[in-house]
Chain A
Amino acid sequence: EPEVTQTPSHQVTQMGQEVILRCVPISNHLYFYWYRQILGQKVEFLVSFYNNEISEKSEIFDDQFSVERPDGSNFTLKIRSTKLEDSAMYFCAISDSPYEQYFGPGTRLTVT
């Protein structure tokens, strides 16, 4: 099973600040995803990334969000100006096929 880590495990930030969440696959993979889970709610798809570009994004993934693989290894999610409602658990997922996804441990983002 592919392994992936996420940093930081917990991020506390003030409203309006920028945050960068990192996903570090142990080995190279083809497909990357970000999901989030607001406390007490469903896990929601944010964005998928393939061949160094966004493949699909959800309605949640508006202009304040961006993703990139800056060094061909890490996969980052940037939230430009955080809002209170961005507080959630953010999960990175990786896969080598379009369908089997393996998740990281998550980053808990708290916006105050």
Chain B
Amino acid sequence: AQSVTQLDSQVPVFEEAPVELRCNYSSSVSVYLFWYVQYPNQGLQLLLKYLSGSTLVESINGFEAEFNKSQTSFHLRKPSVHISDTAEYFCAVSVPSGNTGKLIFGQGTTLQVKP
């Protein structure tokens, strides 16, 4: 069975500082990897995805994540955070299952950006 572990439940950081949100997964088969972000009182928004190809993927708002197969990790990074990045971040894996690929989520990491 697949599982996802987000190693930090809360990450406080000052504005303009770098941040890394850690995600490790367990799977005996190939998976696709995702990061979703949930702003207060909103739904889950797809932040970035790894399906194949380059192991470094980037989002439009400066986040990036690197797929590391040997370490089974997909950590999320940003070199300089903004107050507006304060949100809950979820790492997820998708395993091809029948005709659809269900998502298996980690516990979430709350990013708290302080001024």
> Which A residues are closer than 8 A to B by beta carbons?
1, 6, 31, 33, 35, 41-45, 48-51, 55-56, 58, 91, 93, 98-106
A-B contact pairs, 21 of them (CB 8 A): A1-B46, A31-B100, A41-B107, A42-B106, A43-B90, A43-B92, A43-B103, A43-B108, A50-B98, A50-B100, A51-B99, A55-B99, A56-B97, A58-B102, A93-B103, A98-B94, A98-B101, A99-B101, A100-B49, A104-B43, A106-B43
CA distance A85 to B36 in the complex (A): 25
Contacts of B44 in A (CB 8 A): 43, 91, 93, 103
A103 touches B45 (CB 8 A): yes
CA distance A11 to B44 in the complex (A): 19
A99 touches B51 (CB 8 A): yes
Contacts of A43 in B (CB 8 A): 44, 90, 92, 103, 105, 108
Q: How far does the Cβ of B43 sit from chain A's closest Cβ, in whole Å?
A: 4
Known contacts A50-B100, A99-B94: does B43 contact A91 (CB below 8 Å)? yes
Contacts of B106 in A (CB 8 A): 42
Known: A43-B44, A99-B94, A103-B43. 18 other contacts (CB 8 A): A31-B100, A33-B100, A33-B102, A41-B107, A42-B108, A43-B90, A45-B103, A49-B100, A51-B99, A55-B98, A55-B100, A91-B43, A100-B46, A101-B46, A101-B94, A103-B36, A103-B45, A105-B43
Q: How far does the Cβ of A109 sit from chain B's closest Cβ, in whole Å?
A: 15
Contacts of B54 in A (CB 8 A): none
CA distance A106 to B41 in the complex (A): 9
Interface string of B59-75 (1 = CB under 8 A from A): 00000000000000000
Contact of A45 among B98, B99, B104, B107 (CB under 8 A): B104
CA distance A61 to B107 in the complex (A): 20
Q: Give me the 7 closest cross-chain CB pairs, A-B, nearest first.
A: A48-B100, A105-B43, A103-B44, A43-B105, A98-B101, A45-B102, A55-B100
CA distance A43 to B103 in the complex (A): 9
